[in-house]
Structure 1
Amino acid sequence: MNIYIYEDSNTLNLEPIVLTRPSFDLRCGAYTFLERVQSLFPDARISLIVRDELAGVTANRFSDLTVNPSEVQSGLWLKGPVLWDQETLDISLKEGTILISHGEMVSASLNAEQGNRWLSEGGPLSGEPSETLREENTDVQVIRYLWDCVNLNGKALILDGKSFSLGSGLDSIPNGIHLVNPEGVSIGNDCSIKPGVVFDAEDGPIIIGNDVTILSHTYLQGPLFIGDGCLVKAGTRIYGGTSIGPGCKLGGEISESIFQSWSNKQHDGFIGHAYIGEWVNLGADTNNSDLKNSYANVQVTVNGETVDTGSPFVGLYMGDHGKSGINTMFNTGTSIGPGANIVGYGYPSVNIPPLSWSINGKIRRYKIDKFYITAQKVKDRRGQEFTLEEKQLFKLLSVEG
């Protein structure tokens, strides 16, 4: 079976995270959107349709998948940032059918002729197929903005929990661990969990990956996902509705937030209703506000437009390789571009462009060569390479910024 997972013309509404990754690589629940489709169709031949500027980094990251094919076969086309489930995907499989969610096309089952004709018209990034196809409606959840990811994360975690062996791995933990609803906890292989840790799965599952270290006096509340290779430092509090991707180091207080992967928040400080990218480092006592004193809905600048989120609870959105100095304070609805550094006193601007230094509220450009050096050092520490494709993408972001 052929599956084509695509970005569309609305993808940049998910900035700053999608400035350095395709939208289907965002995390919501225990999986990224791509991982969720792969788990539902493990034997499918999956191809990826992305913006031209992301083709290199996407091909490098997903080397076993085809990126931006010039020709396609009969198959199922799926919009990337959608909380797909088996029942909805089964409806999508009817050939010649497009699936509509709240007025937006989210899938199309096309034969080879129809698919190649769509590509010749510019494909998903240019618009929907021009030919008339049979439509069916669905209520499947579509992620249009980052706050949708955050707000739906708890629901996604509860649904994803059904694909894990809840209640497993508990025999390996030592005495002195406190379990509330142990049937809702799954602990992976080779984990080190110290006495005094509390797992509270009363409100949803707690899913712990492999090779995770959790130090004493930590409180973990479900629904929660912590990916492979993470370190949770002593005294950390992580509240429900939170997803932590692989390789993160965590401390302080985290609530209803998503960490993509390989990011550090090791110290005291509060992060809530936030989406944090990869290779981010938050300095000691970094805090974000996620509620205005007025309790009013938060507005966020997205893709050059001010958008009312419809929610009073909105925190920080920080792109890949973003960094904050000690005691940094972020206001509600702050968006930090990839490669930006925030230091100094007071609140920085709520909209910091990529590859910038914000120093005491004044913004200047980050010299790209110096950024390369730091990015390579950061990845070297985790045994990874800052690739040529990543350099080219950040160079483009520097020019555009």
Structure 2
Amino acid sequence: MIVFYDDARARRFEPFATTRPLCEMRSGALLQRERWCQVLGARAVGFVSSPHLDGFEEMDAPARFPGSITAGTWLVNTRAMPTLLPVKSTATVLSIDHQVAAVKLAAPVTPEQLQDAMFALEDVLPSTGSMSNIPGAWLENVWDFVSHLQTTLLTDIPALVEILGAKPLDAGTATVLGGHGVFVEEGATVEPQVVFDTAAGPVLLRKGATVQAFSRVAGPCFVGRDSTIVGGRMAGCSIGDVCRVSGEISASILVGHANKGHDGFVGHSVLGRWVNLGAGTTTSNLKNTYGTVSLWTPDGVQDTKLQFLGTMFGDQAKTGIGLRLTTGCVVGAGANVFDTMPPKAVAPFSWGSAAPYGSFAVDQFVDMAERMMARRQLLMTDGARSWWRQVHSVASADTRWPRR
């Protein structure tokens, strides 16, 4: 069994920490939860994170772990991103870059211990057993989802091809350039007049994925279950399940159930779950000065040291048609913005055509979210409605966000 722990740093990965534990974020081709389950060969039974995430529920995601974590359970730091290889060692402590990433508990850990975000896995190292250093990387900052994306996809996709038994795309189905290959899980569809460019890395299409005619897909690229590429150019992306993508998109992550179904450029960005970008929405991912990009964080604006960085869209964020977003923008969860270019940071549940924004009323937000889910044949439960109301209240009162 695995329980995931968000430490103090993970709990500040905004705009996503407002609405989801870090184990439900996509890194490379997989959610962090899926990655660790594959590496450890064990099932996830819960997470421990900020109190406002009590009540979080999402499809097959485990809920907040309710009590003491028993001995024999793996406790995992969710900022650790292991390479997608099964751990063959019998070690009870796993490290990445010689920093403790996971511990197989020798004694129970209480909820009171984990409630403190300053708790560290080093505090519960077993007195016996061994440590194994495994390959991988650490998510030190929220923009590391973007900075690690290309290298992670290059190791994830070959591993997943083997795990899933995906097959090379039949010759003649599409035009394939480069030598890394295109791999498809049974049930994926590729229409005629598609071009795959695998010069920089492979492409993997999961079951139910569709690439429509007149699309150009450049690797490394992952397309999740039941997602559709409806035309345009896509390069170096990780597209989660049940997404719809068109236009031009590069080096970006869609966590899942997101919609970028029209023209417009999105680059070096992360789209949370249930994000919808209006037609023509365009992100800037490179400054006119070609300098490094700064990003708003709960600890102030920080220099990311990245030359390319677009927008971080929180869960359920929405943009109007033709919206332009500045380099290194953060759009909070549930925000609905349109018309005028937003400032560098938009607070959660903002509403309007220009700053200072109004508030997206909670009843209207919940109704909208429920309607959007219904379009994907998913029903919002009473528990989820109640939880979203709780999150709306907490986030609307969060003084860390600029409100101008």
Q: Same fold (TM over 0.5)?
A: yes
Q: Which residue of 2 aligns with 1:323?
A: 318
* CA spacing shift, 1:151–1:192, aligned 2, 3 Å: same
Residue 239 (structure 1) aligned with residue 235 (structure 2): yes
In structure 1, C-alpha distance between the alignment counterparts of 2:124 and 2:188, rounded to whole Å: 53
TM-score under structure 1 length normalisation? 0.88
In structure 1, C-alpha distance between the alignment counterparts of 2:291 and 2:211, rounded to whole Å: 37
Q: Please give the residue correspondences for 1:330-369 in structure 2 after superposition, counting only pairs within 5 Å.
A: 330-345=325-340, 347-369=341-363
Q: For 1:312, give the aligned amino acid.
A: Q
Residue 177 (structure 1) shift: 1.2
Q: For 2:372, give the aligned amino acid.
A: V
In structure 1, C-alpha distance between the alignment counterparts of 2:313 and 2:361, rounded to whole Å: 19
Q: For 1:381, give the aligned amino acid.
A: R
* CA spacing shift, 1:265–1:87, aligned 2, 3 Å: closer
In structure 1, C-alpha distance between the alignment counterparts of 2:186 and 2:86, rounded to whole Å: 32
In structure 1, C-alpha distance between the alignment counterparts of 2:96 and 2:111, rounded to whole Å: 20
In structure 2, C-alpha distance between the alignment counterparts of 1:394 and 1:306, rounded to whole Å: 24
Residue 199 (structure 1) shift: 1.3
In structure 1, C-alpha distance between the alignment counterparts of 2:217 and 2:54, rounded to whole Å: 38
Q: Which residue of 2 aligns with 1:275?
A: 270
* CA spacing shift, 1:163–1:292, aligned 2, 3 Å: same
Cα distance per residue 1:38-95 (max 9 Å; x no partner) = 122334564422222213114x54466772432422333211132213779566x634
Instruction: Structure 2: state its 5+ residue gaps.
Output: 400-404
Q: For 1:72, give the aligned amino acid.
A: T
* CA spacing shift, 1:86–1:250, aligned 2, 3 Å: closer
Q: Which residue of 2 aligns with 1:143?
A: 139
Residue 254 (structure 1) shift: 0.3
3-state secondary structure, aligned to 1:57: coil
Residue 180 (structure 1) shift: 2.2
* CA spacing shift, 1:356–1:312, aligned 2, 3 Å: same
Cα distance per residue 1:93-121 (max 9 Å; x no partner) = 634x574747x543334311xx42x6543
Whether the 8 Å CA contact 2:252–2:268 is kept in 1: the answer is: yes
3-state secondary structure, aligned to 2:136: coil
In structure 1, C-alpha distance between the alignment counterparts of 2:66 and 2:390, rounded to whole Å: 18
In structure 2, C-alpha distance between the alignment counterparts of 1:190 and 1:138, rounded to whole Å: 34
In structure 2, C-alpha distance between the alignment counterparts of 1:13 and 1:64, rounded to whole Å: 21
Q: Which residue of 2 aligns with 1:83?
A: 81
Q: Which residue of 1 aligns with 2:118?
A: 126
Aligned residues: 388
**RMSD, matched Cα:** 2.7
Residue 285 (structure 1) aligned with residue 280 (structure 2): yes
Whether the 8 Å CA contact 2:19–2:315 is kept in 1: the answer is: yes
In structure 1, C-alpha distance between the alignment counterparts of 2:140 and 2:41, rounded to whole Å: 26
Q: Which residue of 2 aligns with 1:56?
A: 55
Q: Which residue of 2 aligns with 1:396?
A: 394
Instruction: Structure 1: state its 5+ residue gaps.
Output: none
Aligned mate of 1:378, from 359, 372, 382: 372
In structure 1, C-alpha distance between the alignment counterparts of 2:84 and 2:228, rounded to whole Å: 33
In structure 1, C-alpha distance between the alignment counterparts of 2:391 and 2:25, rounded to whole Å: 18
In structure 1, C-alpha distance between the alignment counterparts of 2:136 and 2:188, rounded to whole Å: 35
Whether the 8 Å CA contact 1:11–1:23 is kept in 2: the answer is: yes
In structure 2, C-alpha distance between the alignment counterparts of 1:138 and 1:307, rounded to whole Å: 30
In structure 2, C-alpha distance between the alignment counterparts of 1:250 and 1:361, rounded to whole Å: 28
Cα distance per residue 1:298-350 (max 9 Å; x no partner) = 111111411110111111001011111111110011000011011113x2111
* CA spacing shift, 1:398–1:199, aligned 2, 3 Å: same
3-state secondary structure, aligned to 1:400: coil
* CA spacing shift, 1:45–1:302, aligned 2, 3 Å: closer
3-state secondary structure, aligned to 2:153: helix
Whether the 8 Å CA contact 1:47–1:69 is kept in 2: the answer is: no
Whether the 8 Å CA contact 1:100–1:107 is kept in 2: the answer is: no
Per mean C-alpha deviation after superposition, the further-off stretch among 383-392 and 282-291 is 383-392
Whether the 8 Å CA contact 1:26–1:81 is kept in 2: the answer is: no
In structure 1, C-alpha distance between the alignment counterparts of 2:289 and 2:61, rounded to whole Å: 48
User: Whose helix fraction is larger, Structure 1's or Structure 2's?
Assistant: 1
Q: For 1:42, give the aligned amino acid.
A: G
Per mean C-alpha deviation after superposition, the further-off stretch among 16-25 and 248-257 is 16-25
Residue 29 (structure 1) shift: 1.4
Per mean C-alpha deviation after superposition, the further-off stretch among 208-217 and 270-279 is 208-217
* CA spacing shift, 1:139–1:299, aligned 2, 3 Å: farther
* CA spacing shift, 1:278–1:45, aligned 2, 3 Å: closer
* CA spacing shift, 1:152–1:124, aligned 2, 3 Å: farther
Q: Please give the residue correspondences for 1:115-264 in structure 2 after superposition, counting only pairs within 5 Å.
A: 115-116=108-109, 119-122=111-114, 125-128=117-120, 130=123, 140-165=136-161, 168=167, 170-171=169-170, 175=172, 177-181=174-178, 184-234=181-231, 236-240=232-236, 242-264=237-259
* CA spacing shift, 1:108–1:268, aligned 2, 3 Å: same
* CA spacing shift, 1:265–1:100, aligned 2, 3 Å: closer
In structure 1, C-alpha distance between the alignment counterparts of 2:168 and 2:331, rounded to whole Å: 38
3-state secondary structure, aligned to 2:17: helix
Whether the 8 Å CA contact 1:297–1:308 is kept in 2: the answer is: yes
